[in-house]
Structure 1
Amino acid sequence: MSSNLALLVATLCLVGCGGPSGSRLAMHDLAGFSIGVDVDTETRAVTDNLTSRGFVLGLSQSGEGYRAFDASHPDGRTLVRVITQVGIAIALDVPTHERDDAVRLRVVAGITDLVVTRIDSAGDRECSALLRPEPDGRVKGVPIELDYFGEGACVEEIRDLDEDGHPEMLTRSFAERAFGDGVPEVPGVLVAREGGYRRAGPGDCEVFWNGEEVRRRSEADEARRALDVPRVLRLAVELALVVRGRGGAMAAQVTAFDGAIAGLVLSAEEARGALEAREYIADGWPE
């Protein structure tokens, strides 16, 4: 009898095998019944089935009440499975026609949740999600506050920015339009908070943000010496984005922009571009 069928039979017996009408089940009547599947037995059944079909097992992880693994097939298919007392709680698959992509488990120091990464080779991008097995056998997605960073934002990197043993999530924070010589872009940082990951605020990852600011100021000084106004303008917007990323107020963002372009000799067209950028920042980075 398969494990899923055993679960169904056990459940039906609990409901319908109580004896005469009106009788009650005593606890000793339930001896020998178990609700749910045996995780190790179910995992062996699932992996045996996959290997018999040509899949090669990859990384595996286990914890209290769950087993997880990824696997790949010579034809390009990849998958991730999470097994709990309910059976296969999570099944993620990348089919053959998307063989340039892949889905994998990852082990990240400092994170106890399951990290699942979708690798988009066509776009040269990796996007990760966190899964949290619950005691009742369900697996929940860990909330990650990505909406703030715009449509299409995802966790592209997981790194311990301040070396405190608690990794942060990194995405991209960018202006919705080009300024100067390109679209301004800085990392977007999410920190562990309230059972999930929330965007960084004042005081978070100060060493990291200081480094981002120093690097852009140095590049802006270099561009200024080269009279490369478009590059200075883009970097000025990025410096405002850095202030925004670390939770700074709108006034501080505008001040960062003003300081980066102060003293530049601008043509009429460049002055219009600088004014548009400043208004864009002051208006709250509209989409």
Structure 2
Amino acid sequence: MSDGYLPGDAQGGDEPATVRALGELAGSVETGAVPYDRLIAGGRRRLRRRRLLTAGAAAVLVAGIAGGTAVLGERGRQAVSTVAVASASVTAAAAPGSPGAPATVSAAPSAAGVPATRDPFTPVRVKLAEGAANGHTWQAWAALWPAPSSKEDFAKQARLIQAERHETDPKAKPVTQKDIDINWDPRIDRVNYYYTVDGKRQADDALPAVSAPGGFPAAVGGASLGLHDDAGVPAVVIEGVQAEVAKVVVAWKTGGTTEAVAVTVGDSPFRFYALAAKPGTDAAAVTYYKADGSVERTTELWLRTS
């Protein structure tokens, strides 16, 4: 990450390289008054351009980290959408442990409304949505695993996640040291999307990376789970959205709409929603609404659901 200096600048020296470079450039002007103001302005423009380029590179870096998380054994089909991290805190949301999954105790909320501690070994598990189809009941869940502060803790966390996934999917890949070396970043949380049918967790899930609170803009994933599973229910869609999004409405190509409420998960700077897809069709348009009813965005590019 850039600290705002130009290449070659002294950091703590008596004379920053930016000043020396401007002085040398001013000295090269042979006639007339030295255009010092214009030289300073030009240097500032170059500095601003470099900061913008650095910010863009950081976003690309995090998107790469998000994609790299798939090596931990992800099976869900993901469509990544760029989401800016909200600056405001969101209220922690706790939910009972998922049926068929290890019980989870959420951290107690602090006076500010967010967990007092972020335990990388105890996820905040939230039920996002539930419904019924073909005589079966389904529930969609998100388990937020806070970013570990050390590579050793990340290795422990990754193995805890893998063990939980392995209970329902024996094909889940074991965690390797290469996985740890590539994916650890103290600014990145993991969120495990999964769903249950009649109280039993299904094998298909997803594990996208998301920015931790106070992090930088990143990519947050969405997944269509159960597309190829014979679980008796349609595909279950789970996606992360900006914190300002309160509701998502999907208009289907064969007609009709489905609405979903976006909820908070722990102290994540994102919200998450889930819904069951309409069998035999894909989305024609997806509209994201803010709490005041205004449209945050509308897109035709969405997850495949059939």
- TM surpasses 0.5: no
- Which TM-score applies when normalising by structure 2? 0.24
- Relative contact order (alpha carbons < 8 A, sep ≥ 6): 1 or 2 greater? 2
Higher helix share: 1
Larger radius of gyration: 1
